[in-house]
Amino acid sequence: MSVQETTFQPATVAPGELEAGGLLTIDLSAIAANWKRLAGMTVPVECAAVVKADAYGCSIERVVPSLTKVGCVTFFVADIAEGRRVRACAPAATVYVLNGLAPDTAACFAQAHLRPVINSMVELAEWDAFIAANDWRGGAALHVDTGMNRLGLTPDEAVALVPRLQTEAHGIKLLMSHLACADTPNHPMNDRQIRLFRELRILFRGVPSSLVNSAGIFLGGTAHCDLVRPGIALYGGNPIPGQKNPMSPVVELRSRIAQVRDIKKGDTVGYGAAWTASRASRIAVITAGYGDGYLRAAGAAKGKSSALVMVAGKACPVIGRISMDLLAVDVTDLSAGAARRGEFATLIGGTVDIDQLAAACGTISYEILTNLGRRYHRIYRG
């Protein structure tokens, strides 16, 4: 009797509104508006869209069609699986796979009409061998490391490839690099990388080039090259930290109040007794926790937290440690009855945006967005 190998498929049915502990609303029209704003800022340079990590947690299948409708024709993803999903939504789009060419995957790129971002000479050799054997002309991007020290060919390796451009079928559709410190406008690394990439662009004349992400767009036109690659800005994150966010908010997260309870002065709340009431207090227990992507780091450390939750239109502090499925909020200063069982509190939205929550967690908005869990009931607008 043979044993057949099977692959486990997790359940993908989203919970209904009444069944879910929280409601996650994603405004697709705001994503489209953010793209149009960035595209308008960079004319005549092409504006692409980074939709890796399931469109930063907002759903490739929802986001890509919305962006295609307003004119986006080039998308960047992390891996082949994401590329296939984009291809299914946008058959005519150009799709680049940032993580490059893993061994023995060249045929997968051709089957889905995806373009690998070549990150090493080894990848390039394998890609060239596939092209020669199959006469495939879909093209690839060439990624040059200008100082990030993450992925990419060295500048010297890139220079050595310049004679390749004399051949008609060189296959390089895009020359690209990535800024390490774009979100710190005055960082000297930005100027060094821009200068080096400019020198490489001259050598690769005739090949479109791309350097900047969301924050890099705001460094000005000298960095824009031929194509810009916004990511977090599309989803409402602030691309210029320390300044007013120019992007429209995209995500709103509301979770239910499971219980409101009164505690005495000196009582503690949650695991580790991390928060102690300095007065008689009223707390609301909300059905969201780190299992839903509300990070444990948002909890009170030594009795204090900078994370806020909107309850009955008022900002209330998070207290105690974040549990897997629950968090506690101090609602003592609200009027009696303002916080009620079954009502929704706003965890992201209004005056509490994703960047503020990220700061309270000691992280960045990217991590907040991409960790928002599947237990929420999702509502898509626009």
Residue extents of the structural domains in the chain: 45-235, 251-381
CB burial readout 17-29, b (16+ within 10 A) else e? eeebbbbbbbbbe
CA distance 320 to 220: 44
- For 278-329, the pLDDT digits (tens) are 999 999 999 999 999 999 999 876 566 689 999 999 999 999 999 999 999 9
Rounded to the nearest 10°, the torsion over CA 91, 96, 98, 102 is 80
Q: Are 231 and 217 in contact (CB under 8 A)?
A: no
Does 7 score more than 80 pLDDT?
Answer: no
* Active-site residue, 376 included: no
- For 137-167, the pLDDT digits (tens) are 899 999 999 999 999 999 999 999 999 998 8
Q: Taken in order 62, 63, 66, 68, is the CA torsion positive or negative?
A: negative
In terms of residues, how long is the chain?
Answer: 382
CA distance 373 to 32: 23
* Active-site residue, 271 included: yes
In this prediction, residue 3 has a pLDDT band, given cuts at 50, 70 and 90, of very low
Q: Which amino acid is at 277?
A: A
CA distance 245 to 322: 28
> What is the per-residue pLDDT for 13?
62
> What is the per-residue pLDDT for 247?
97
Q: Taken in order 81, 84, 88, 94, is the CA torsion positive or negative?
A: positive
109 versus 1: the higher-pLDDT residue is 109
Residue among 274, 253, 217, 265 at smallest CA distance from 347: 253
In this prediction, residue 168 has a pLDDT band, given cuts at 50, 70 and 90, of confident
301 versus 2: the higher-pLDDT residue is 301
Averaged pLDDT, 98-117? 96
Q: Which amino acid is at 368?
A: I
Map residue 113 onto helix, strand or coil: coil
CATH fold of 251-381 reads: Lyase, Ornithine Decarboxylase; Chain A, domain 1 (2.40.37)
CB burial readout 286-313, b (16+ within 10 A) else e? bbbbbebbbbebbbbeeeebebbbbbbe
Structure tokens at 210: 């791309």
In this prediction, residue 4 has a pLDDT band, given cuts at 50, 70 and 90, of very low
CA distance 129 to 113: 17
Beta bridge partners of 308: 317
CA distance 287 to 260: 12
Averaged pLDDT, 221-247? 96
Rounded to the nearest 10°, the torsion over CA 309, 312, 315, 320 is -50
Averaged pLDDT, 17-21? 79
In this prediction, residue 169 has a pLDDT band, given cuts at 50, 70 and 90, of confident
Structure tokens at 357: 């929550």
Task: Quote the pTM value.
Answer: 0.92
Please tell me which residue in 36, 52, 96, 366 is annotated as part of the active site: 52
- For 72-98, the pLDDT digits (tens) are 999 999 999 999 999 999 999 999 999
Helices (H), the chain: 28-41, 52-56, 60-69, 80-89, 106-112, 121-134, 155-160, 188-203, 214-217, 354-361, 365-371
Specify the CATH superfamily of domain 45-235.
Alanine racemase (3.20.20.10)
45-235 and 251-381, same CATH topology: no
Please tell me which residue in 69, 265, 271, 304 is annotated as part of the active site: 271
In this prediction, residue 15 has a pLDDT band, given cuts at 50, 70 and 90, of confident
CA distance 113 to 61: 18
Averaged pLDDT, 271-277? 92
> What is the per-residue pLDDT for 370?
95
